[in-house]
């Protein structure tokens, strides 16, 4: 399968473009086209990199079909599904090769992260190293989750803060803007977590590297299409991850 790389995308755009939005996907064909279109309609002067783990539903083909319309779009195609952590780390290492890129955005492909929150988050990123789209600060909320998921998420975040002392309320948030200078201070090769545990560990390491951190309220909505990626493995990993993070530090 042909892959449109980040460097190929940058060759077609203005040098002042300094933000790359990374979207990991696995069977997100139902959502990815509308999400990409929504992002570029709001903020056309960004790069978008879709990181696809060889989705059986051919998500990558949908991304490739959009390339003629969106020249700022890149596809990072991986051979197999290895978890959220591996997908993000692979993408980070690719993006960090380009010193012109100053900010990386992480967000889900299922519309749980509203693209309309991107402009204010990017504006705040001019003054902070890490911006977190947070469900658990004043003004933040969750729409469409069952009670058991709300309780699980609340408890997981309280537990993570208690063990690791991460100075944020939403430790498992996946909607973030990260300064690439602070990301370069982290040894990404030492992160072996996946799923929500990866998001915890990444925030911990960014905070430990001396980052200025700001949480901004978002309305988190349950996915529009496709199936949830939460599993018993992800839940088990999340229980042990905070202690592993503390021990490794």
- Global pTM? 0.89
| Number of other CB atoms surrounding residue 7 within 10 Å | 11
Burial 145-166 (b: 16+ CB within 10 A, else e): beeeeeeebeebbebbbebbeb
Residue 186 contacts by C-beta under 8 Å, 6 or more apart in sequence? Answer: 202, 205, 206, 209
Dist. CA 76–CA 89, nearest whole Å? 12
Dist. CA 21–CA 49, nearest whole Å? 6
**CATH classification at residue 237:** 3.90.550.10
Dist. CA 84–CA 53, nearest whole Å? 10
Is 1 contained in some domain?
Answer: no
Total domains in the fold of the chain: 1
State residue 239's pLDDT score: 73
Which residue range forms the structural domain that includes residue 109?
6-248
Question: For residues 89 and 83, is the Cβ–Cβ distance under 8 A?
Answer: no
- CA nearest neighbour of 130 among 85, 179, 197: 179
Residue 99 contacts by C-beta under 8 Å, 6 or more apart in sequence? Answer: none
State residue 2's pLDDT score: 43
Distance in Å from the first CA to the final CA of the chain: 41
> How would you classify the pairing of strands 19-25 and 141-143?
unpaired
Residue 125 contacts by C-beta under 8 Å, 6 or more apart in sequence? Answer: 103, 131, 177, 179
| Number of other CB atoms surrounding residue 124 within 10 Å | 14
Is 154 contained in some domain?
Answer: yes
What pLDDT tens digit does each residue of the chain (249 aa) get?
Answer: 445 566 666 555 454 569 999 999 999 999 999 999 999 999 999 999 999 999 999 999 999 999 999 999 999 999 888 889 999 999 999 999 999 999 999 999 999 999 999 999 999 999 999 999 999 999 999 999 999 989 989 998 999 999 999 999 999 999 999 999 999 999 998 888 877 889 999 999 999 999 999 999 999 998 665 555 555 666 666 677 777 887 776
């Amino acid at each position: 399968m042909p892959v449109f790389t980040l460097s190929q995308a940058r060759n077609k755009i203005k040098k002042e473009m300094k933000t790359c939005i990374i979207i990991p996907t696995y069977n997100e064909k139902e959502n990815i086209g509308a999400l990409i279109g929504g992002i570029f309609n709001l903020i056309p002067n960004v790069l978008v990199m879709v990181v696809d783990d060889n989705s059986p539903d051919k998500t990558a083909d949908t991304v490739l079909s959009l390339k003629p319309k969106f020249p700022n779009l890149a596809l990072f195609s991986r051979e197999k599904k290895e978890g959220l952590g591996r997908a993000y780390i692979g993408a980070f290492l690719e993006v960090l090769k380009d010193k012109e890129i100053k900010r990386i955005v992480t967000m889900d492909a299922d519309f749980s992260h509203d693209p309309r929150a991107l402009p204010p988050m990017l504006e705040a990123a001019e003054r902070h190293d890490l911006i977190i789209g947070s469900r658990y600060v004043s003004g933040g909320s969750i729409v469409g989750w069952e009670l058991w998921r709300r309780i699980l998420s609340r408890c997981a975040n309280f537990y993570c803060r208690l063990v690791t002392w991460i100075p944020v309320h939403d430790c498992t948030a996946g909607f973030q803007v990260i300064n690439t200078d602070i990301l370069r201070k982290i040894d990404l090769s030492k992160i072996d977590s996946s799923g929500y545990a990866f998001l915890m560990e990444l925030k911990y390491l960014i905070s430990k590297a001396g980052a200025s951190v700001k949480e901004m309220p978002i309305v988190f909505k349950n996915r529009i299409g496709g199936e949830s990626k939460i599993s018993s493995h992800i839940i088990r990993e999340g229980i042990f991850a905070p202690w592993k993070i503390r021990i490794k530090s």
